[in-house]
Structure 1
Amino acid sequence: MQTLVQTFMERRGDLLTALWQHLGISMASLVIAMMLAIPLAIWAARRPKWAEGLLQLTSVLQTIPSLALLGLLIPLVGIGTVPAVIALVIYALLPIFQNTYLGISEIDASIEEAADAFGMSRMRKLFKVELPIAMPQIISGIRTALVLIIGTATLAALIGAGGLGTFIMLGIDRNNTPLLLIGAISSALLAILLSALVRWFQTAKPKRALTVFGVILVLLAGGGAYSAYANRVETVTIAGKLGSEPEILINMYKDLIEANDSHVKVTLKPNFGKTTFLFSALQHDQIDIYPEFTGSVLETLVKGTNPKGMTAKQTYALAKQRLAKQEQMTLLKPMKYNNTYALAVTKQFKQQHHLKTIGDLTRIEGVLKPGMTLEFIDRNDGMKGLKKAYHLNTTAKSMEPALRYQAINDGRVNLVDAYSTDSELRQYNLALLTDNQHFFPTYQGAPLMKADFAKRHPQIVRALNRLAGQISETDMQEMNYDVNVKKQSAATVAHRYLVQHGLLKGAK
């Protein structure tokens, strides 16, 4: 409990920002869903055949897995708030449409006949008779949709839309239970509070309800307007993938850029998502820079056959060339360390089975219980290609990055994928198996940006190139350990390294 309170106090500013983002996304999605579903349900109430089809359609839409839906939307509308809101609206349609339709279509026929007998027009009957009678059921649908939206909106953090999901994802990635609890509890409390508010709207006097609703909309709109005003000058947006290492790197980028030019405003978006999410965001100008790896560029982001056995220099040169030609992007000079993929086992397991290389695993396939990230399992430079290169016949369970380390520590799996700079290798006393076939390509980190951005900002290029050839694998693993295990902030760790190695002056 003490750790939870301490984490809350340290992160209360970030929590307030995430809460505001979550609220904005949720309320925007709810209002749009209501504007679509309620009029459509009113129209369908007198057209049973159409109503059945629309109910089936909204039901099918709600069965689409949220991550799959976000993946489908990214190529169309990019990364950030827009795809998150679209996905949430789609999920909210069914409960609102269904309850509104049932509420109106199930009104007693005698009441409808009485309204007609009084000579009411269709619109007058709708607002004076049908909607008041159906209102409790409509409100129930709105409350259900709202709770669903708030819960699902946590996934918006995966595509850079922010919100309380940032705390949850960060808690999972860093095995930090307080962060996970803060995100989950805040989301639950927000759902309870807003559900109660919707319930109050049902019983409150119309004028008072409209006043409160108007105040909420003004606050949300005012927050958006202030944000636009505050960001009226050009800003540089730097994003990072999930994990401590990308967050450390983007903080280094920020410090170097701002130290080089005090007039530049840098905005950071840590834990933005996976490789393809960030690349899409860069393509759509939603971010300006993010740290990428040379091997990931060749294996995932550009087209072309990759020669085997390339040196680090050859890998970087080919990645830079293809990015410039195919995507009009620039990959700046890489850092020293090679954050390559690797396979890890416990030191006890390694000694027990006399393992040294990945090739030795073929001798003990019957006892292997691999647990690996889904990205590694599906990559050609991951498990797919590894099984062919080493003639391995084993199937891995897919796990979130942080969970696979917990699983091997608990003995639930005995083989995991790893990055050579992961702090968990030291934390859980794991050993890496030698890649004796030299299967894994070189993964040197470097800032990635659009070519026209680099051309317009030569001072930023100069500042970031100061990291070229810096940071060893030991340095990076130690910094990851400071963040993940010692719970130091990524900003502090990044700044300390820059000062200690003469890349930056002054204390922070």
Structure 2
Amino acid sequence: MKELHDFVQTFIDRKAALVQALGQHLAISFWALLIAVIIAIPVAIWVRRYPKVAQVILQLTGVLQTIPSLALLGLLIPFVGIGTVPAIIALVVYALLPIFQNTYVGLTEIDPSTEEAADAMGMSPSRKLFRVELPMAMPIIISGIRTSMVMIIGTATLAALIGAGGLGNFILLGIDRNNTSLILIGAISAALLAIVMSYFITILQKMKFRNVVILIGTIVVIGGGFAGYTAVSQLNQKVVIAGKLGAEPEILINMYKDLITAKDPRLDVELKPNFGKTSFLFSALKSNQINIYPEFTGTVLETLTHSSVTPKTPAAIYHLGKQQLAQQDQMTYLKPMAYNNTYGIAVKDSFAQRYHLKTIEDLQNVQGKLKAGMSMEFMDRRDGLKLVERRYHIKFPVKGMEPELRYRAIHDNQINLIDCYSTDSELRQYHLTVLKDNKHVFPIYQGAPLMTQEFAKKHPQVVSSLNKLAGKISEKQIQQMNYEVNVLDQSPASVARHYLVKHHLIKE
């Protein structure tokens, strides 16, 4: 009963966000399906007379479907940025095969006697196509469209990873916060949307071809007009602030918003929480799809500027990152906060006590007992797992896992060693011990607002507002705020505002 109550309460609390996510998901799915239909059906009609060409296209569309969706999205980012456009392109790629294949099969398997009868009646090729061939092939074509539609709606949940929104936001947030209700809301909504769209396609199947064209044309005009209006309206003075996945970035961007609007209430500030990983956010910032996001000094040197030198002191790390960002990417990096959200290696308290583990170096004594689960980013970084193994001369089996899943895995004793961030609320929630980095492998990670130089020059009041956080927030304070959001289920907005009011950064 408690689970049902939590589900209902979560649904009520987030119904407005759900409606928005449904709209985004439906829009992405509709445009992807429509574009796939416009491409696949005419191509299938053209190649029906050329079987060898048709086989090549079938093979090509089949190969495209084997590309992992995340890999395809990653490949598209350098060319079209992040957001809705790459999501739609990826979905179109996956939708082509069922529509093309069914259209081709439907047209080529028409009884030859029917074709001959149409020719005998003196029908032109175009008249025969629209009056005889397409109507006879329509059930098979519709079946292919329905298959593509279900595939699109399911795959579109990944659009949330690149800032395109949709129901994937609920699923990703649920995984990050270990909130089953959010995951179920996203998954059930996607399933219901697929059912509704399937029913809509069934209705189209019963309509006359002309009426279908008119209906779809009307939807396209209305949808295109709304999209155009939205795009134009966003050209106004709107400040878009995005954050990475997780509670902490969402708390920070809510602080940014409150500080900015406290100084200038007329400024329209839009938040995009759980927008994606570092590379996605930085690409969005460079392409002006967002204006600000919180970034960490260590990440700047390792991931964004690929610095070959890492200074030892926090101030030197920040100043080098700020200088390199300005030179390489024309970015403005504001002053950092106090806390250091660095990497760590953690084990259960009980495991640490049993084997007398206090430092990472102590793991040398229990290498044969270790089963690690770590984030893919930590495993790949030069200052992550690779450096830990090299500096501490240890080696152990490790599985790549999503950040939140590794906490659940260690809690369930599926693994016994994880990477972590020093401010993670889960360290307190799951009773974990962070082993001391006595060889200073992990660099300093202090968070600060990142924006383009052009934006900073146009909005000096935003810069001065955000600089109020410089040197503020201790490691203990941010871990407590993360705990309040992740475990006590308080909203990031209320937690952020409470801190700012309590420390006299804004008025009540």
TM-score under structure 2 length normalisation: 0.97
Find the aligned partners of 2:280 and 2:213 in 1 and give their Cα distance.
Answer: 40
Q: Does 1:304 align with 2:307?
A: yes
Find the aligned partners of 2:50 and 2:215 in 1 and give their Cα distance.
Answer: 35
Question: For 1:154-193, what aligned pairs fall within 5 Å after superposition?
Answer: 154-193=157-196
User: In the TM superposition, what is the alpha-carbon distance from 1:70 to its structure 2 partner?
Assistant: 0.3
Query: What's 1:346 paired with?
Result: 348
SS at match of 1:236: strand
Partner of residue 202 from structure 2, selected from 195, 199, 202: 199
Q: Does 1:331 align with 2:333?
A: yes
Query: What's 1:78 paired with?
Result: 81
Question: For 1:324-473, what aligned pairs fall within 5 Å after superposition?
Answer: 324-473=326-475
Query: What's 1:252 paired with?
Result: 255
Query: What's 2:114 paired with?
Result: 111
User: In the TM superposition, what is the alpha-carbon distance from 1:225 to its structure 2 partner?
Assistant: 4.4
Cα deviation, 1:211-258, whole Å, max 9, x if unaligned, reads 654554455335424534643522111100000000000000001011
SS at match of 1:286: coil
User: In the TM superposition, what is the alpha-carbon distance from 1:57 to its structure 2 partner?
Assistant: 0.3
Find the aligned partners of 1:277 and 1:485 in 2 and give their Cα distance.
Answer: 28
Partner of residue 47 from structure 1, selected from 40, 45, 50: 50
Find the aligned partners of 2:209 and 2:471 in 1 and give their Cα distance.
Answer: 66
SS at match of 1:296: helix
Question: For 1:112-131, what aligned pairs fall within 5 Å after superposition?
Answer: 112-131=115-134
Q: Counterpart amino acid of 2:253? A: I
Q: Counterpart amino acid of 2:462? A: I
Find the aligned partners of 2:217 and 2:11 in 1 and give their Cα distance.
Answer: 31
Structure 2: give runs of 5+ residues left out of the alignment.
none
Query: What's 1:494 paired with?
Result: 496
User: In the TM superposition, what is the alpha-carbon distance from 1:206 to its structure 2 partner?
Assistant: 4.9
Cα deviation, 1:355-414, whole Å, max 9, x if unaligned, reads 111011111110000011111111111112211111111131111111100111111100
Q: Counterpart amino acid of 2:168? A: G
Q: Counterpart amino acid of 1:324? A: A
Sequence identity (%): 63
Distance 1:207 1:133, change over 3 A: closer
Cα deviation, 1:47-102, whole Å, max 9, x if unaligned, reads 10100000000000010000000000000110100000000000000000000000
Find the aligned partners of 2:197 and 2:333 in 1 and give their Cα distance.
Answer: 46
Find the aligned partners of 1:137 and 1:158 in 2 and give their Cα distance.
Answer: 34
SS at match of 1:504: coil
Query: What's 2:482 paired with?
Result: 480
Query: What's 1:277 paired with?
Result: 280
Structure 1: give runs of 5+ residues left out of the alignment.
none
User: In the TM superposition, what is the alpha-carbon distance from 1:296 to its structure 2 partner?
Assistant: 0.4
Q: Does 1:242 align with 2:242?
A: no
Find the aligned partners of 2:241 and 2:42 in 1 and give their Cα distance.
Answer: 42
User: In the TM superposition, what is the alpha-carbon distance from 1:304 to its structure 2 partner?
Assistant: 2.6
Distance 1:450 1:386, change over 3 A: same
Query: What's 1:63 paired with?
Result: 66
SS at match of 1:417: strand
Cα deviation, 1:88-137, whole Å, max 9, x if unaligned, reads 00000000000000000111111111111111111011001110000000
User: In the TM superposition, what is the alpha-carbon distance from 1:453 to its structure 2 partner?
Assistant: 1.0
User: In the TM superposition, what is the alpha-carbon distance from 1:283 to its structure 2 partner?
Assistant: 1.2
Bigger Cα displacement from structure 2, 231-240 vs 317-326: 231-240
8 Å contact kept, 2:310–2:317: no
Partner of residue 25 from structure 2, selected from 22, 25, 43: 22
Query: What's 1:10 paired with?
Result: 13
User: In the TM superposition, what is the alpha-carbon distance from 1:200 to its structure 2 partner?
Assistant: 1.2
Query: What's 2:34 paired with?
Result: 31
SS at match of 1:69: helix
Find the aligned partners of 1:118 and 1:211 in 2 and give their Cα distance.
Answer: 28
Q: Counterpart amino acid of 2:186? A: G
Query: What's 1:138 paired with?
Result: 141
SS at match of 1:480: helix
User: In the TM superposition, what is the alpha-carbon distance from 1:429 to its structure 2 partner?
Assistant: 0.7
Q: Counterpart amino acid of 1:489? A: S
Find the aligned partners of 1:122 and 1:85 in 2 and give their Cα distance.
Answer: 34
Find the aligned partners of 1:304 and 1:422 in 2 and give their Cα distance.
Answer: 27
TM-score under structure 1 length normalisation: 0.97
SS at match of 1:135: helix
